[in-house]
A and B are shown apart, each in its own frame.
Chain A
Amino acid sequence: MRFPFATARRRCYITPAMTTDLSHIRNFAIIAHIDHGKSTLADRLIQMTGGLTEREMSEQVLDSMDIERERGITIKAQTVRLDYTAKDGEKYVLNLIDTPGHVDFTYEVSRSLAACEGSLLVVDATQGVEAQTLANVYLALDVDHEIIPVLNKIDLPAAETERVKAQIEDVIGLDTSDALEISAKTGIGIDSVLEAVVTRLPAPKGDPAAPLSALLVDSWYDPYLGVMILVRVVDGTLKRGQRIRMMANDAAYQVDQVGYLRPKPTKVDELGPGEVGYFTAAIKRVADTNVGDTITDDRKPAAKPLAGFKPSVPVVFCGLFPTDAGDYEDLRDSLEKLHLNDASFHFEAESSAALGLGFRCGFLGLLHLEIVQERLEREFDLDLITTAPSVVYKVYRTDGVMRELHNPVDMPDPSAIDYIEEPWIKASIMVPDEYLGAVLQLCTDRRGEQENLTYVGNRALVVYRLPLNEIVFDFYDRLKSVSRGYASFDYELEGYREGDLAKVSILVNLEPVDALAFIVHKSHAEARGRQICEKLKDLIPRQLFKIAIQAAIGGKVIARETLGAMRKDVTSKCYGGDITRKKKLLEKQKKGKKRMRQFGNVEIPQSAFLAALKTGE
């Protein structure tokens, strides 16, 4: 699921258009790495075909989410219908379906790609191919796309057009003899892009007479129109007033409004085969719509749904707690509001002895987690604590029952466990060769198994199999640091494997701190346990009594730190007149204890645990 921004699409325009003839439609996507110029190119294409005026362009930029602009990533679909008169004098309809392009949203990307017949592969001529680009090219090839290589930023002195072309041929196996050379920023070659889309990408196929069959590409919540659904019609027509059915969740609705996004919603009567557009149907929640679902006619349904539907499944879980316990209700309301627009994250109430009331939340990946957390903090002004992210383990118990484990706290007693399986990924990493050694070492440290290692010029492409729990730990940060930011990384989930895993509990004065428990491979248990104990030792203020901080697996202590008692805390002067003052101090100390958590004979301020989680891995 993406994060469409609704306000730019609020106003509707009516165009009394007929459905377009299939041969005059081209549906395409743009595949590019962050910063390689995808958004700039998209904006150029919209501008050249007259989709938006100069002023509207800048308005649209202003409307997009802060997070997107700051991170240079697309986390909403930018879908636009362009009218283009080609050199052959014919008028064509070009539907550009922009994609989020991040590994967390791989399934959503694959559905966006499935709605198109071809892609533009945009590569920065000064940078070359990156791991993320590769992963998305493979997705496009999976859905049989025609791919047009486009070299961007050729105006820059650092552009190495020929070398990058060779790299594309080597790494991806695409013919680059008629690759386009452009500069989205200056406008060089943009007309050649539009012309290539018409002449080199195939027209969609479809049968207007067949029962309706449309792919649900995306959905979002609009405060005025309710849930809006982006579809690609494959066969038949989608009409205003039609009664449709979602095949995956078997729900039927009456279509209220049908239209194109240019990118403003523009009402029409119907969408024919090959066309891309939106409809509304009094659907209350985005959660009632599933990306990849097939929409058909309720009275005359298609014989079978389109291939490839998968329900969205969270792969990374963590606890979200308000820093101020008084914000719990606000957090719940905010999660509910966010969920209206993004049904792919899951949340349920959780109570922690160390952190109080909060929510256990599931996400499509780490970026998705960060985006949700950041939106909660920015848009809803909440100060949050995130517990260490955890993946979904499959715990096979000795009684033969398998349970998925989303929270380390729920781990059964080791004696009740037969074995545990953990998710593994296939990771592609591209890195300049000077950092290759450090990257290989990192992958090995993280239990990686090397699959492949190839060179393109002075850049290496390494493919590793790695356990996902090593990635969510701090892999991105480490990779960035050992490669000085030059490595690019992407992955796909591969499946589950048995692992020698254990739950490590962190104990303070022999009492477990639930929020700090984690699951880890036994070979890393001691080092990670020690790391957390040391951190807590620094963060917990000295108390009246000494404090034992331990990491343990079951009953076995694997790391231990002792925080000595405070050395001195006494008021020097206390005579007859000072007693009132002394009592005030005592009352203050007693009051302070309300924000403390009791661990044996000491009270530890909640802030120490918050800090332990905040400073991160």
Chain B
Amino acid sequence: MTPFGVYVHWPFCESKCPYCDFNSHVQDAVDQARWARALIADLAHYAADTQDRTVTTVFFGGGTPSLMAPETVAAVIQGIRDLWPCAEDLEVSLEANPSSAEIAAFPDLKAAGVTRLSVGVQSFDDAALSALGRRHDAQAARRALVGARDHFEEFSFDLIYARPEQTKDKWRQELREALTFAGPHLSFYQLTIESGTPFHKDGVKAAEGELGAALFDITQEVLGEAGLPAYEISNHARPGHECRHNLNIWRGWDYVGVGPGAHGRLALSGDGAVRDWGTHQVHSPERWLSLVESKGHGTAKRRLLDDGDRAEERVIMGLRLTEGIDRTRFQAQTGRDVLTLINPSKLAYAVGAGYVDLDKTRIAATAEGRLRLNSLLASLLAT
């Protein structure tokens, strides 16, 4: 079955974290029923053009989607089932925060149809959690993970590392604690300081360069030994327990994105040809809501991507994966060989330096190559 994902963005948080530059907003009262109707309307708009697809994965991201009332989640999942045929093993992931109210809602979320929970733990160190502006402490994080394990077979949690003043030893220690709570999946993000965030304004410095590289290496080593190898730059799983939704996006498959600021990628036929479209919903929650209610959809932009654009995206995404890019699949998706996008002499240098593995069936960045992927991509995709 050709994978087809649905992404639902819930833009609200209880508070804004000082490192976060995502589309998240703090709002006292959210009219859950109104938002559920609007999200379903936005979905229906895309469903009209994609009736031939079968939805294989759903992902609730944010913001903090665990702040959605379980009834809202249930309504949106039901809406998806009403609009498209859905795979029998439909994966429904939802991002959750470890607050007690949210932990209490885990059984209801499961009942609503969520199959996979991803908990935003970020750290097991109270001082670090407070520096990161999180509202929970390490004890709440541990409770949330026990709760997640009790209710979900598939669950994951996130940690943020390369924090200011983080040492290699402390990170090893934190990883060991993480493993005692780990399910089949984990994500580790190095702190990046994004412009416009309070961290940026305050001049907070993430561990970079040599230390950043060492912390990355430690993560690979400890998780590899624990049987949770990286399948993507920041994502680790026991084989077979990857997040299928994200995996499909990295593999270059289509997805619908609804809710404020959500992006989507759709190949649509028309005039006897199949063309790739990039879709983008209105960013601001209020404006998105009023647009959906007045026009029936929240789309700000639907942009035709030229062949090269979408193919280049697939290279950027595909080389993030340990498995790399399946050349046959790429050919089927884009109608061209992946090597036509890559500068041959730069590729030769990259292979020679041990950054890229290439054979007839696939092209992949090695562990060393993935560690330097931004520069590697800039080099390989140079015309």
Q: Which stretch (B121-129, B142-150, B165-173, B209-217) binds chain A?
A: B209-217
Check B263–A583 contact: CB distance below 8 A: no
Q: How far is the CB of B286 from chain A (nearest CB, A)?
A: 20
Contact A590/B382 with A566-B372, A572-B192, A579-B316 known, Cβ cut-off 8 Å:
yes
B257 at the interface (CB under 8 A from A): yes
Q: How far is the CB of B254 from chain A (nearest CB, A)?
A: 10
Check A570–B370 contact: CB distance below 8 A: yes
| B:180-214 near A, CB below 8 Å | 189-190, 192, 208-210, 212-213
Check B377–A586 contact: CB distance below 8 A: yes
Q: How far is the CB of B59 from chain A (nearest CB, A)?
A: 8
B262 contacts across to A, CB distance below 8 A:
577
Check B209–A567 contact: CB distance below 8 A: yes
| Complexed CA–CA distance, A410 and B203 (Å) | 50
B346 at the interface (CB under 8 A from A): yes
Check B349–A601 contact: CB distance below 8 A: yes
B5 contacts across to A, CB distance below 8 A:
576
| A:550-604 near B, CB below 8 Å | 565-577, 579-580, 582-583, 585-586, 589-590, 593, 601
Q: How far is the CB of B205 from chain A (nearest CB, A)?
A: 15
From B9, B261, B349, B372, give the contact of A570 (CB < 8 A).
B372
Check B212–A568 contact: CB distance below 8 A: yes
Q: How many residues of B contact A (CB 8 A)?
A: 49
B257 contacts across to A, CB distance below 8 A:
576-577
Most B CB within 10 A of own CB, among A570, A580, A582, A589: A570
A188 at the interface (CB under 8 A from B): no
Check A544–B246 contact: CB distance below 8 A: no
B29 at the interface (CB under 8 A from A): no
Q: How far is the CB of A591 from chain B (nearest CB, A)?
A: 10
A545 at the interface (CB under 8 A from B): yes
Check B374–A567 contact: CB distance below 8 A: no
B213 contacts across to A, CB distance below 8 A:
567-568
Task: Please give me the residue from chain A that is nearest to B232 by CB atom.
Answer: A574
From B216, B349, B355, give the contact of A568 (CB < 8 A).
B216
B233 contacts across to A, CB distance below 8 A:
570, 572, 574
A543 at the interface (CB under 8 A from B): yes
The 8 A CB mask of B244-271 against A (1 = contact, 0 = none) is: 0010010000010100011111000000
From A543, A546, A568, A601, give the contact of B371 (CB < 8 A).
A568
| Complexed CA–CA distance, A593 and B189 (Å) | 28
**Using a Cβ cutoff of 8 Å, how many contacts connect chains A and B?**
101
Task: Please give me the residue from chain B that is nearest to A593 by CB atom.
Answer: B382
Check B265–A568 contact: CB distance below 8 A: no
Q: How far is the CB of B218 from chain A (nearest CB, A)?
A: 13
Check A567–B382 contact: CB distance below 8 A: no
B373 at the interface (CB under 8 A from A): yes
B261 contacts across to A, CB distance below 8 A:
577
Check A566–B375 contact: CB distance below 8 A: yes
Check A570–B371 contact: CB distance below 8 A: yes
Check B349–A545 contact: CB distance below 8 A: yes
The 8 A CB mask of B343-383 against A (1 = contact, 0 = none) is: 00110011001010000000000000011111111110110
The 8 A CB mask of B233-245 against A (1 = contact, 0 = none) is: 1100000000000
Most A CB within 10 A of own CB, among B5, B313, B316, B374: B374
A574 contacts across to B, CB distance below 8 A:
233, 316-317, 320
B12 at the interface (CB under 8 A from A): no
Check A585–B374 contact: CB distance below 8 A: yes
B355 contacts across to A, CB distance below 8 A:
544
| Complexed CA–CA distance, A570 and B230 (Å) | 15
Check A586–B378 contact: CB distance below 8 A: yes
From B192, B212, B317, B370, give the contact of A579 (CB < 8 A).
B317
Task: Please give me the residue from chain B that is nearest to A570 by CB atom.
Answer: B373
Check B375–A544 contact: CB distance below 8 A: yes
Q: How far is the CB of B181 from chain A (nearest CB, A)?
A: 21
| Complexed CA–CA distance, A565 and B354 (Å) | 12
From B249, B265, B320, B373, give the contact of A569 (CB < 8 A).
B373
B60 contacts across to A, CB distance below 8 A:
none
Q: How far is the CB of A402 from chain B (nearest CB, A)?
A: 43
B7 at the interface (CB under 8 A from A): yes
Q: How far is the CB of A207 from chain B (nearest CB, A)?
A: 79
A585 contacts across to B, CB distance below 8 A:
374
B255 contacts across to A, CB distance below 8 A:
576
| Complexed CA–CA distance, A579 and B246 (Å) | 12
| Complexed CA–CA distance, A543 and B213 (Å) | 15
| B:274-295 near A, CB below 8 Å | 278, 280
| Complexed CA–CA distance, A582 and B186 (Å) | 23
Check A565–B374 contact: CB distance below 8 A: no
From A572, A577, A579, A589, give the contact of B378 (CB < 8 A).
A589
B265 contacts across to A, CB distance below 8 A:
576
Task: Please give me the residue from chain A that is nearest to B377 by CB atom.
Answer: A586
From B234, B317, B350, B381, give the contact of A572 (CB < 8 A).
B234
Check A567–B263 contact: CB distance below 8 A: no
| Complexed CA–CA distance, A565 and B263 (Å) | 35
From B209, B264, B371, give the contact of A576 (CB < 8 A).
B264
Q: How far is the CB of B248 from chain A (nearest CB, A)?
A: 10
From B208, B316, B345, B379, give the contact of A544 (CB < 8 A).
B379
- The contact sample of 30 A-B pairs, CB cut-off 8 A, is A544-B375, A545-B353, A546-B353, A566-B372, A567-B210, A567-B213, A567-B372, A568-B208, A568-B213, A568-B216, A568-B372, A569-B372, A569-B375, A570-B371, A572-B190, A572-B234, A573-B189, A576-B263, A576-B265, A577-B7, A577-B262, A577-B263, A579-B317, A580-B280, A582-B316, A586-B374, A586-B377, A589-B374, A589-B378, A601-B345
User: Which residues on B are within 8 Å of A, measured CB to CB?
Assistant: 5, 7, 9, 61, 189-190, 192, 208-210, 212-213, 216, 233-234, 246, 249, 255, 257, 261-265, 278, 280, 312-313, 316-317, 320, 345-346, 349-350, 353, 355, 370-379, 381-382
User: Which residues on A are within 8 Å of B, measured CB to CB?
Assistant: 543-546, 565-577, 579-580, 582-583, 585-586, 589-590, 593, 601
The 3 A-B residue pairs with the shortest CB-CB distance, nearest first, are A567-B213, A568-B213, A601-B349
